[in-house]
Amino acid sequence: MTATEVLDDLQHPEDEASKRALGSSFYAAMRIMPPGQREAMFEIYSFCRAVDDIADDIEGDAEGRLRKLDLWRRDIDAVYRGESVRGLSGLAVAVRDFGLEREDFRAVIDGMETDVHGPVQAPTFNDLDLYCDRVASAVGRLSVKVFRMPDHAGRELSEHLGRALQLTNILRDLDDDAAINRLYLPREFLADEGIESTDPDTVLAHPALGEVCNRIVKLARWHFTEADRIMKAHPRRMVRTPRVMSEAYKAILSGLIKRGFKTPRTRVKLSKPRIVYIVLRHCIV
């Protein structure tokens, strides 16, 4: 796979499953997988995107969004009963071929429900960790089945890499989340730095915000380190996709650290050439 081919693929996905997953931050990492695994990953992320869109539809009323999430629960249950569900035939194949666990799909939906019941504003650390487990590590538990990692190591990788990625997202999206009245920084961290308010705009304007964010940075880095330790113990081809995800998000985290957390906070994202470079580095095994 050449740099030109990778760049073209990032811009022009060929099949429907690819198109559904194109909006995912992890599209490039999924695209380098063998066909069967790739299709399964696209189906998982298509599901995640669908339920995430429901949670983020702040124009819709909460009751309607909760009904839509509950419909997803019923559809997932139907898939596991072997019933045909319109639009989920590909997901059913992934469930069958890779032994995906229903509880992980339901955990993701539960995490999205947290946002619907919100807005989430400065949760306790334990509540934040549970949220990260549901919206990120549960996705990891589905994904490592597709990577065909051993169960224990796969679950351990999901715990650490999922949290590392989600904590990075929280730091990256501070202003976007505040715009919809959300704040995912843990209240214990705020209190330790003398920030009494849980109002997003007030917290983001506080001079001690950087100290709170630096604690999240430290936690994310620890999870990245633990994830690296686990991946190093497994064949490179098996963990090529999570390695790409990890490297990409480490680069985002480094960009956030370099930019800092004082206003104005410019958006940090990776350029397509940088993504291509990361993908190609891990295509050579």
Tens of pLDDT, residue by residue over 137-159, are: 999 999 999 999 999 999 999 99
Q: Which of 40-49, 179-188, 240-249, 267-276 has the lowest mean pLDDT?
A: 267-276
| Higher per-residue confidence, 229 vs 272 | 229
Fold of 14-283: Farnesyl Diphosphate Synthase (1.10.600)
Evaluated on CA atoms 112, 118, 120, 124, the torsion sign reads negative
Report pLDDT digits (tens) over 155-204.
Answer: 999 999 999 999 999 999 999 999 999 999 999 999 999 999 999 999 99
**What percent of the chain lies above the pLDDT cut of 70?**
91
Q: Measured between alpha carbons, how far apart are the two ends of the chain, in Å?
A: 12
- Model confidence band, residue 9 (pLDDT cutoffs 50, 70, 90): low
Q: What is the pLDDT of residue 31?
A: 84
Tally of CB atoms within 10 A around 26:
20
Query: What is the model's pTM?
Result: 0.90
